Amino acid sequence: MASLIAGGVDCDVHPAVPHLTSLLPYLNDYWRDQVTTRGMVDLVSQSYPKNSPIVARPDWRPETGKPGESLEDMQRHVLDPFQLSCAICNPLYGVQMVFSEDMQAAFCRALNEWLAREWLDRDSRLRGSIVIPTQSIEKSVAEIERCAEDKRFVQVLMLVMGDTPLGKRGLWPIYQAAERLDLPVGIHAGSAYHNPPTAVGWGSYHIEDYVGQAQAFQTQLTSLIVEGVFAKYPRLKMVMLESGVSWISPFLWRLHKFWRGVRMETPWVDRAPLDIVRSNIRFSLQPFDAPPEPETLIRLFDHMQSDELVLFSTDYPHWQFDGQDALPEGLTPDLVRKIMIDNPHATYPRLK
Amino acid sequence: MNIQFRESTETSSPLTTKTAIADCDIHPARATRTELYPYLAKRWQHHLEIYGVHAYQGMMEGPPYPKAQPNASRRDAYPPEGGPQGSSLSFMQKQLLDPNNVQLGVLNPLNTGQGIRNHELSAALCSAINDWQIDKWTSKDKRLKASIVVGNEDGMSAAAEIRERAGDKNFVQVLLLSRNVEPLGQRRYWPIYQAAEEAGLPVGVHAFGFGGNPITPSGWPSYYIEEMVGHSQCQQSALASLVLEGVFDRFPKLKMVMIEAGFGWAPSLAWRLDKVWQRLRSEVPHVKRPPSEYIREQVWWTTQPMEDPERREDLFDVIKWIGWDRLLFATDYPHWDYDEPSRVLPAGVSEANREAFYLGNAKKLYGIAA
């Protein structure tokens, strides 16, 4: 494996909300009463069933509770041994699945407050992502603006599978706010399950949903690019989190070919999709979905024709690698430095 | 686009008079609206006149995403005698088969009886289109071979149609589309795979189709380009379903052809499946081997539309990872995104690989004598 270097930025770690009741202190009286009176249960998404092997490395799985719910564990498992300067917390609590915009807004606000008080306040290396109630664009923008006053929040977080394709114009006020406030928008694997989790319907298995994340990222990149998000918001960065990386180049070759063929349909796309991705889109390293041979990795990075696309991540506590082997074999020391330090800092202005 | 057509048709003759090729994705069209009526019972002719076709999408005529060209086809492909592009055998011979020295042309009729909510009508239309392929095309030009089009949502009647045609040398494969009511690995489609395996026919999965699901996992996109690029994602999900439901394990002699969805995604999908299967195989104990092994042994890809890297030789890495023995050249005639035979492969391919790519793999897969 390539050697880790100290001072890296882990762009994808997952602190877990122990239970919906953990958010009660951060809800107002009305919602606290709703949660208890109605007997609401924990919001756990099918994307991440607690006991699924991929959801926690065996040696990162606690004896009780959810993987990732203890700060001490996160410190012991990643922050200290990987000698990280920062880690960006992306909570995957199932608030996006809620249909009511009022309930969702209350839960998102509580989740962001919980993250600030119970994680960011307790370890200065941690940074946060703002989880937003996408059932309401107005409420999403308000939550972004509210959280952005705390400089430790460094990005906005959305799921790769929501109600509509991410490029749709109705969502643009979110991107406008994010660009204005120096917040990249992180798009994380996972579905709100408001649509079937594949474009050809409902599969049978958890493994199928997980494999399908990569296809969801591909369709979202198409949508974001052809709708013109980056022509309108050229400073906006988007980070594909837990997306896989080996599909990027072949996907872009295809998108580029069709863009050349039918660009009259979307004339506002004023740059080639490849150039847009190189300037505005980044990808987290794990899960690194290529075979272990270094020669394949070298070809894949060469196909990208850029050393700026990939950002270091452990995807803690998900089980993507063993031991300290977060960096696949074959990365040069220069590329390791780019991935672990330079690229994250160039992507997240608020890490300064 | 039209400029590209002119460029490419001008350069088509020099190489192609030398080398015979297979074209594994040709789309024959009907010259008139009622051309299938002689093959349909009166009841269905009447039904079509009164009610039309109700697909798993809302438009009575035309696709939900308007195409980039009329009939999604080349403007230079209108037959001189009239009718839509792809509807004249003599013009297809003149424009495609003769100048490109096509030795084997596989017909994949679209807009037939598939993706229709009335499953009885679906079966009747598919049977009609199969008769029509023989009468109008394969019986008149021996280079052309037909695909058995089946009513995709009713596995039992589809299997019956396959058994009816099994052994008929006019047909070389069974045709499905990628977008159906459920992912293609689901059990409702298994009778199709069983019948195809018994008949020794590959199952082609062509991009497109309507199954009523939003065509992305985040809902309906806005543009035709999103549907077009998205075909490769639909195909990936369909193939993942086939692997993870255990179809290849259950039907070990089954061969599948991924048609018109590109192939650049194939190595990445296989790697991802293998990696995740290592973690989650206890959920799918019926998938006994690493997914990439089934894919390597039982799946082929047609080439068009070829991915188009900035550095064209990057494609060789991808082809090497898939295997030069697994690609089947296709033009997609008469559609607008036609791949011109003389231009698709960058320089630097060995003679053996070139022959396999353009002709040998297809003849072997489809059982056409050398």
A-chain residues within 8 Å CB-CB of B284?
205, 207
Query: pLDDT value at position A319?
Result: 97
Cβ A198–B223 below 8 Å, yes or no? no
Chain A partners within 8 Å of B215 (Cβ): 199
Chain A positions touching B2 (Cβ under 8 A) are none
Confirm or reject contact between A350 and chain B (CB < 8 A).
no
Question: What pLDDT score was predicted for residue B347?
Answer: 85
d(CA A343, CA A11): 10
Residue of B nearest to A266 (CA): B223
From the candidates B216, B239, B271, B307, which should be mutated to test the interface with A, based on the most A CB atoms within 10 A?
B216
DSSP, collapsed to helix, strand or coil, labels residue B189 as: helix
Q: Is residue A217 within 8 angstroms of chain B, CB to CB?
A: no
Whether residue A207 and residue B226 make contact (CB cut-off 8 A), yes or no, is no
Expressed as residue numbers, the domain containing A337 is 8-351
Q: What single DSSP character describes residue B116?
A: B
The Cα of A245 is separated from the nearest Cα of chain B by a number of Å equal to 9
Q: Are B366 and B104 in contact (CB under 8 A)?
A: yes
Joined tokens for residue A90: 């992306």
Taking residues A5-15, what's their average pLDDT? 98
* Angle at which helices B190-199 and B155-165 cross, to 10°: 10
Of B181, B226, B273, the CB nearest to A201: B181
Q: Dihedral angle at the C-alpha atoms of A30, A33, A35, A38, nearest 10 degrees?
A: -120
- Is A53 within 8 Å of B280 when comparing Cβ atoms? yes
Identify which of A116, A321, A344 has the alpha carbon closest to the alpha carbon of residue A241.
Answer: A344
Report chain B's terminal Cα–Cα distance, integer Å: 36
Tokens for B91? Answer: 């013009």
In three-state secondary structure terms, A234 is coil
Is residue B64 a contact partner of residue B111, using CB atoms and an 8 Å limit? no
Determine the Cα–Cα distance for residues A15 and A67; give it in Å rounded to an integer.
8
Closest chain A residue by Cα to residue B308:
A253
Q: B130 is written with which tokens? A: 């199969």
Whether residue A110 is contained in a domain is answered as yes
pLDDT value for B370: 60
Q: Which residue of A has its CA nearest to B226?
A: A222
**In chain B, domain spans:** 20-365
Task: At B297, list the tokens.
Answer: 């042994």
Contact between B101 and B44 (Cβ < 8 Å): no
For residue A19, the distance in angstroms to the closest alpha carbon of chain B comes to 25
Tens digits of residue pLDDT in A258-292? 999 999 999 999 999 999 999 999 999 999 999 88
What mean pLDDT do residues A178-182 have? 98
With beta carbons under 8 A apart, name residues in chain A contacting B178: 200
| pLDDT band, very low/low/confident/very high, at B369 (cuts 50, 70, 90) | confident
- Taking the C-alpha atoms of residue A178 and residue A235, their distance in angstroms, rounded to an integer, is 10
Q: Percentages helix, strand, coil for chain B, rounded to the nearest 5?
A: 45, 10, 45
Whether the CB of A54 is below 8 Å from some CB of chain B: the reply is: yes
Residues of chain B positioned with their CB less than 8 A from the CB of A205: 244, 283-284
Number of domains in chain A: 1
The string of pLDDT tens digits covering residues B192-228 is: 999 999 999 999 999 999 999 999 999 999 999 999 9
**Distance (Å) from the alpha carbon of B261 to chain A's nearest alpha carbon:** 10
> Is the residue at A3 inside a domain?
no
Q: Does residue A83 form part of some domain?
A: yes
Assess contact for A205 and A47: CB atoms under 8 A. no
Virtual torsion, Cα B352, B353, B358, B364, nearest 10 deg: 80
The minimal CB distance from B268 to the residues A161, A206, A250 is found for A250
Helix ranges (H only) for chain A are: 29-37, 71-74, 101-118, 137-148, 172-180, 206-227, 229-232, 248-262, 273-280, 294-304, 333-337, 343-347
Q: How high is the pLDDT of residue A1?
A: 67
Residue B150 near residue B175 (C-beta atoms within 8 A): yes
Which residue in A4, A9, A97 sits closest to A45, CA to CA?
A: A97
Q: Is the pLDDT of residue B11 over 80?
A: no
Question: Can you give the pTM of this predicted structure?
Answer: 0.96
Asked if A161 is an interface residue toward chain B (Cβ–Cβ < 8 A), one would say: yes
Task: Report whether pLDDT(B16) > 80.
Answer: no
Q: For residue B269, what pLDDT band results from cuts at 50, 70 and 90?
A: very high
> Residue B61: which pLDDT band, with cuts at 50, 70 and 90?
confident
| H or E, element range at B103 | strand B102-107
Contact B26, B107 (CB under 8 A): yes
Here the CATH number for the domain that contains residue A37 is 3.20.20.140
Q: Does B12 score more than 50 pLDDT?
A: no
For chain A positions 259-298, those within 8 Å of chain B (CB to CB) are: 259-262, 264-266, 274, 287, 289-291, 296
Do residue A303 and residue B240 have CB atoms under 8 angstroms apart?
Answer: no
Residue of B74, B218, B344 for testing the chain A interface, max A β-carbons within 10 Å: B218
Which residues of chain B have a CB within 8 Å of the CB of A223?
A: 216, 218, 221-222, 226
Contact A246 B262 (CB under 8 A): no
The closest CB to that of B280, out of A207, A259, A290, belongs to A207
- pLDDT computed for residue B329 by the predictor: 97
The four Cα atoms B316, B317, B322, B328 give a dihedral, to 10 degrees, of -10
From chain A residues 58-97, the ones with a CB under 8 A of any chain B CB are: none
Query: B191: how many CB neighbours lie within 10 A of its CB?
Result: 18
Q: Sign (positive/negative) of CA torsion A266, A267, A268, A274?
A: positive
**Cβ B280–A52 below 8 Å, yes or no?**
yes
| Rounded-to-integer distance, Cα A282 and Cα A75, Å | 26
Fold observed for domain B20-365: TIM Barrel (3.20.20)
For residue A272, give Cα distances in angstroms to A231, A255, B151, B178: 11, 9, 40, 28
Residues 298-327, chain A: which have Cβ within 8 Å of B? Answer: 299, 302-303, 305, 319
Give the mean model confidence (pLDDT) for residues A317-344.
Answer: 96
Which positions in chain B touch A198 (Cβ < 8 Å)? 183, 213, 217, 234, 237, 240-241
- Strands B144-149 and A238-241 turn out to be unpaired
In total, the C-beta contacts within 8 angstroms joining chain A to chain B are: 244
* Helices vs. strands in chain B: H and E counts, helices first: 14, 8
Provide the token pair at A36: 């208890």
Question: Do A261 and A219 meet the contact criterion of CB atoms below 8 Å apart?
Answer: no
Taking CA atoms, B38 is separated from B35, B45, B132, B140, B270, in Å, by 7, 9, 9, 18, 45
- State the pLDDT at residue B10: 41
Cα dihedral across residues B332, B336, B341, B347: positive or negative:
negative
| pLDDT at B346 (0 to 100) | 84
Classify the phi-psi angles of A29: left when phi > 0, otherwise alpha if psi is within -120 to 50, otherwise beta: alpha
- How many Cα atoms occupy the beta-carbon half-sphere of B37 within 13 Å? 12
ipTM: 0.97
Query: Rounded to whole angstroms, how far apart are CA atoms A47 and B184?
Result: 21
pLDDT in tens, B121-180: 999 999 999 999 999 999 999 999 999 999 999 999 999 999 999 999 999 999 999 999
pLDDT at position A280, please?
Answer: 98
The rounded percent of chain A whose pLDDT value lies above 90 is: 98
* Distance from chain centroid for Cα B104: 15
Residues of B in contact with A199 (CB under 8 A): 179, 213-217, 230, 233-234, 237
Of A219, A226, A262, the CB nearest to B217: A219
